[in-house]
Amino acid sequence: MRLSQRLSMGLVLVAAIGLAATDAAARTASAAPVLGPGIERATGPVVGPEVETAIIGGTAAASDTWPAMVALIDARIASPLQGQFCGGSLIGPTWVLTAGHCVDDATPGDLQVLAGTVTLVAGSGDRVGVNRIVIHPGYDPQTQVNDLALVELARQPSGSSPVRIAGVDDADLTSPGTVATTLGWGATAIVPAIGDYPSRLQQTTLPIQPGAACVSTLGTAFVAELMVCAGTATRNTCLGDSGGPLLARTIDGQYVAVGVTSFGPCDAAAAYTKVSASTSWITTTITTPASATRTVALVATPSGNGYWSIEGDATIAAFGDAMPFPATGSSLSQPIATATRTPTARGLWLVATDGGIFSYGDARFHGSTGNIKLNQPIVGMAPTPTGNGYWLVATDGGIFSYGDARFHGSP
């Protein structure tokens, strides 16, 4: 379902996510709603994901207590209270961690992020635009496995500071019996009325449960290696808070994001995506420039029956009759700007924006300008007919000659 379609949805009090185990559990557990679609907050419907959650048995959060907590807002709606549809956590200066199902059909222009406030009131906090949305590559909208997404902000929000994410060495923070904290602006009643969506952030503590507790409510939908089980009949998340954090405290009192609110019933143990299972993906994504995650060049084979696709991080994919080449992504100081094949089509040159040159197959290495201060980034490359040289062209028209490439002057 598209975001635009969700705007026409009415109030949904009881809704299933399409998982048979979850639906069955909800029907037999005092008719409580499971995490479901499209909620109304005050006077009309707002954008909301297929699977949503909110705080049950919580209390109002004091100002400045959760500086990493953010609200995802529909960019078309001026009122934060009306436009908020998910939560998230600031985990870097310009990066927010949220649930994959919150943004899986969204574009950056659909969203804004409200940070630096505990109240959904016009004029409070810092409302920031979005540059990029990155869904976890293993996210499955049918099973909610790897239910994570990263949202890159247009700038660093004021009044906020990041929370640390759990790593592989933080297994003790998700062991059964650990008391965790969850946050959100969602409904404060299991069967909510329109007035049950607060403008002030709610918080509650809840125990992390053994995986068996979630298996009993969610069946095979609960995957222990990728999820954390938490919550009770009276302290839980429910309609409205997907994407918000599950926080545990270290021995020195530091809060760590160990989970992301994902799915389950409102009055029994529910599933949170386990952050430590995806630490490597999170870290790689937030440290990789946007230009390194896009295809920057397509180079055709002489026959026209194949091509190489080159990503900004120098990853090369071969299609058709194109010969495969390895990737060099670990050694780049700048993203790749362009690529050219050798006359034999048995090699490739990749050129980084700083003029650094990478050679593959029978492509000869003729030196690099990467250690020379360029006036402008490199944007083009052309080999000589012999394949023993090439010209590089900068954005200001500067030309660099290598091998048997003759220099004919520069504008």
Which sequence positions are flagged as catalytic? 101, 147, 242
Q: Are strands 389-394 and 336-341 parallel, antiparallel or unpaired?
A: unpaired
Q: What CA–CA distance (Å, rounded) separates 269 from 283?
A: 29
Sequential DSSP letters for 316-382: EEEEETPPP----GGG-SS-EEEEEE-TTSSEEEEEETTS-EEEEETPPP----TTS--SS-EEEEE
Q: Are 389 and 402 in contact (CB under 8 A)?
A: yes
Of the chain, the end-to-end C-alpha distance in Å amounts to 53
Q: What is the CA radius of gyration of the chain?
A: 25
CA contacts within 13 A on the Cβ side of 361: 17
Q: What CA–CA distance (Å, rounded) separates 373 from 127?
A: 38
Could you tell me how many residues make up the chain? 411
Query: Tokens standing for 340?
Result: 């050219």
Sequential DSSP letters for 229-243: EE--SSSEE-TT-TT
Q: What CA–CA distance (Å, rounded) separates 310 from 337?
A: 10
The candidate with the shortest Cα–Cα distance to 346, out of 315, 308, 296, is 308
